[in-house]
Amino acid sequence: MGSSGRSAWVSAPCGITILSSYATGQGIALAIQERIEVLARVREQATDRISRRQDTPREFNYLYHCVDQTRRRCYRPDLDQIGLKIFSNVPAGVGLKTSSAVGVALNGALGEAWDLDLTPAELVRISTDAAKAAGVTQAGSLDDTWCSVLGGIVMTDERESQLLERWPAPDDVEVVIFVPRLHRHRVHDLDRRALLSPHSAQFERLFASLSETQNVFDVMSRAAYITAKAFGYRRDLLDLALTAGASGVAISGKGPAVAAVVEAKRVDQVASSWSGFEGSLICTRPEDRGTLVGRSNDDQTLWIEGRAT
């Protein structure tokens, strides 16, 4: 590696929830075309230790753990200086799987820069381990992470750490997402497993039903109403979208984002049904592709320095 080091660019899709894993550990997620992009550069300029203050923001802490998990998993004692450039237009912390997408793209870019030839399963393990170590997930995010790696619709079981199914993303619908303009909702600070565990039997039946029938949109909508009630979110947003012609609705992740899967001819009606509420709209499509390797434009760089001790 020369003095300029190596660089690699990887993008990973964000996603929406079909069936939350909070209740039972079994989760289903759908990738969307909104992506997180990461450019990683590795230089031979090491210092004595990883530079990480105890009071660093949780977002930086997560990046640190991603780097650390990749190094540990792949036995890279020669951690040099790593430059990270992260590109995203997707709002964070609203349930659109941005943490999983960042982790997958970041660890994938490091793997490319270090010529590690990571398998999809290794990339998932590294990313979920980093999320748990950084405290950015309660449920483990196995479904979200596989969704970012493979695209399409994924079904996972965190209890067995397994990918159960992967189906192609539907190509005949679009996705309309509404992000209410709220202050931080109480559910973000609560144990979301505890809130949904009383409904575990319902979620198990929905999961089994989807495994047998693949009736994705009906299961998504049924789960959305259970989740909205348990988390204290308003359900009229779901009602309005379905009345306007949505095929299915979801409370995505921990929320507050609400997603509607819609035929193209009904996108405007569904979007208009939410026009009386303060918030932002995202119109996108399901994504059948997972992580992509390529090139990107330049931007500000966040540097992490250090060498393994």
The 10s digit of each residue's pLDDT in 182-227 is 755 667 656 888 889 899 999 999 999 887 777 899 999 999 999 9
| Closest C-alpha to 111, from 295, 300, 293 | 293
Please give the Cα distance from 210 to 204 (Å, whole number): 10
State the pTM of this model. Answer: 0.87
- 254 vs 61: which has the higher pLDDT: 254
* pLDDT at residue 41 greater than cutoff 90: no
pLDDT of 259 over the 80 cut? yes
Indicate the DSSP class of residue 174.
Answer: E
Q: What is the DSSP letter of 266?
A: G
Q: Is residue 234 part of a domain?
A: yes
Which structure tokens are listed for 71?
């190094």
Q: Which amino acid is at 213?
A: T
* Alpha carbon distance 275, 269 (integer Å): 10
Is 189 among the domain residues?
A: yes
How many other CB atoms are found less than 10 A from the CB of residue 92? 14
Q: Which of 105, 108, 125 is nearest to 117 (CA)?
A: 108
**Start-to-end C-alpha separation, the chain:** 22
In a domain, 80, yes or no: yes
What mean pLDDT comes out for the span 232-255? Answer: 96
Residue 309, domain member (yes or no): no
Identity (one letter) of the amino acid at 266?
Answer: R
Please tell me the total number of residues recorded for the chain in this structure: 309
Residue entry with tokens 């790593």:
82
pLDDT of residue 80: 60
Q: Has residue 1 been placed in a domain?
A: no
Cis peptide before 77 (omega within 30 of 0): no
Strand partners, 38: 10, 86
Range of the domain at 177: 6-304
Whether residue 35 is predicted with pLDDT greater than 80 in this model: the reply is: yes
Beta pairing, strands 248-251 & 279-284: unpaired
Q: Does residue 251 belong to any structural domain of this protein?
A: yes
Mean pLDDT value across residues 61-70: 78
Q: Is the CA virtual torsion 95, 99, 102, 103 positive or negative?
A: negative
pLDDT exceeds 60 at position 151: yes
Contact 90, 67 (CB under 8 A): no
Q: Tell me which residue of 225, 253, 230, 226 sits closest to 241, measured CA to CA.
A: 225
Amino acid, res. 59 = E
Residue 75 lies in a domain: yes
What pLDDT score was predicted for residue 53?
42
Q: Would 144 be classed as within a structural domain?
A: yes
Over the range 122-159, which residues count as b (16 or more CB within 10 Å of their CB) and which as e?
A: bbbbbbbbbbebbebbbbbbbbbbbbbbbbbbbbbbbe
**Mean pLDDT value of segment 30-52:** 73
Nearest to 256 by CA among 184, 165, 305: 184
Buried b (16+ CB within 10 A) or exposed e, 241-257: bbebbbbbbbbbbbbbb
Instruction: Report, as an integer, the average pLDDT of 109-126.
Output: 89
Task: Assess whether pLDDT exceeds 70 at residue 4.
Answer: no
Total number of domains constituting the chain: 1
> At 113, is the pLDDT very low, low, confident or very high (cuts 50, 70, 90)?
confident
- Domain with residue 90: its CATH number is 3.30.230.120
